[in-house]
Amino acid sequence: MNNKILPLLTTILMVFALFACDKAPIETASVSTGQGGLQGQVVAPVEGIYLYVYKPGMDLYGPAFAVSQATGANGRYQLELPDGDYVVVARKRKGGEASGPVLAGDNRSEFIQVKVSGGMASLDVSAPVKVGDQRNFTGDLEESSTGIAGRIVDSDGQPVAGARVHVYDHVQMSERPKFVSEKTGPDGLYQIPLPAGGTYYLAARDKFGGPPKLGDLYGRYDKGTIEPSAVVVLEGELLKAIDITVTKVW
């Protein structure tokens, strides 16, 4: 009799053991999705602010890695970002543009270092009105006998109004321009006084900031070459007839 009961008891105990294992709590590991972001408010609040996000080492005045939508009346923003370290700045231009120079009367925050890691990081930003302007427009420079002059034309050779010449000191022309001309009038003429002679590279465009977009007018000064042609200006020389052709970006 005992020999028959023992196997039965063993079977019952095994069933209970399996049932207990099935009900035991299962530990789950916390896994980062690699995707997070930033959210917060631009105080006091400020409407129409864009949040510009750069990766470390990027030109903080050039095209951003990511740009938020403009803030609403409550000043709030939210922007999804991959995990990583970033530099953030808030900007608002009086004209409402998402790109271009920040001038006196516009809003701008300080540059802020943030870290995003597996979730939404909270960041409230203060973006006071900028006082003064250090951008080197033609009109900002004192009278100089050194400079560049010419005309901006379209592909048919007709003068282009409302364009500016951007002056760079590197052939890549990827950094912020060193000097920017005033807008051309109906005759398309421009003149840029320079503080010193040197080697410069020129581009003309009708919009500010970032790479040219579809529909923008853009052109570089070149002499039929793929790369931009250098413009060598001697000290005390006003180099004339440096004409630039612009076309629509498609």
**What is residue 30's predicted lDDT score, i.e. its pLDDT?**
30
The domain of 157 spans 138-248
Task: Give residue-wise pLDDT tens across range 14-49.
Answer: 544 444 444 333 332 233 446 789 999 998 788 999
Region of poorest pLDDT, from 44-53, 92-101, 135-144, 226-235 = 135-144
User: Rounded to whole angstroms, how far apart are CA atoms 51 and 134?
Assistant: 22
The secondary structure of residue 67, as a DSSP letter, is: E
pLDDT at 244 exceeding the cut of 60: yes
What integer is the mean pLDDT of 47-69?
89
| Torsion, CA 42, CA 62, CA 153, CA 160, rounded to 10 | 10
Q: Does residue 18 lie within any of the structural domains?
A: no
Q: Which percentage of the chain shows pLDDT scores above 70?
A: 80
Same domain, 157 and 235: yes
Q: Does residue 92 lie within any of the structural domains?
A: yes
Last residue of some domain: 105, 126, 147?
A: 126
Q: Does residue 72 lie within any of the structural domains?
A: yes
Specify the higher pLDDT residue, 139 or 236.
Answer: 236
pLDDT at 135 exceeding the cut of 60: no
Same domain, 145 and 220: yes
Indicate the number of domains in the chain. 2
Same domain, 85 and 154: no
Same domain, 194 and 219: yes
Q: Does residue 25 lie within any of the structural domains?
A: no
Query: Which amino acid would we find at residue 217?
Result: L
Same domain, 171 and 86: no
Residue 219's SS3 state is strand
The closest alpha carbon to 160, from 202, 220, 217, belongs to 217
pLDDT at 72 exceeding the cut of 50: yes
